[in-house]
């Protein structure tokens, strides 16, 4: 049981390049999320998917696209990377459990755009 996995762990891009960050969870969670974390800014929600087949914008969606490929996988794409997208990206998944909720995070992807 790996929980939430993300690939790659590190990536360096040049301005204008594109890439896709991959996320998968094996907890059978319905909801999945992409966040970015910058110093002093906390975690900011980029996109989320409340269930398979749906996606919604968060606080900072500009410059990103997402795909909820199936219940397990939720990918984040940068079509034309910009230095402002240098950040640590976290994927998370959540589900109700016994009247409560749980949300777990992946290990993160450190992205640098030069």
Interface with another protein, residue 19, by CB under 8 A: no
Complete DSSP assignment for 65-108:
EEEE-SSSBEEEEESS--GGG-EEEEEEEEEEETTEEEEEE---
Interface with another protein, residue 104, by CB under 8 A: yes
* Cβ count within 10 A of residue 26: 12
Least Å from the CB of residue 14 to another protein: 25
Least Å from the CB of residue 104 to another protein: 6
Interacting residues toward another protein by CB under 8 A: 30-31, 33, 35, 40-45, 48, 50-51, 56, 58-59, 90, 92, 94, 100-108
């Amino acid at each position: 049981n790996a929980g939430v996995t993300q690939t790659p762990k590190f990536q360096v891009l040049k301005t204008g390049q594109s890439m896709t960050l991959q996320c998968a969870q094996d907890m059978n969670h319905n909801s999945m999320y992409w966040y970015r974390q910058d110093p002093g800014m906390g975690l900011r929600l980029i996109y989320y998917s409340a269930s398979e087949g749906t996606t919604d914008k968060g606080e900072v969606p500009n410059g990103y696209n997402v795909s909820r490929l199936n219940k397990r996988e939720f990918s984040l794409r940068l079509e034309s990377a910009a230095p402002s997208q240098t950040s640590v990206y976290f994927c998370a998944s959540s589900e109700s459990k016994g009247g409560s909720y749980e949300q777990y995070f992946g290990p993160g992807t450190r992205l640098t755009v030069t």
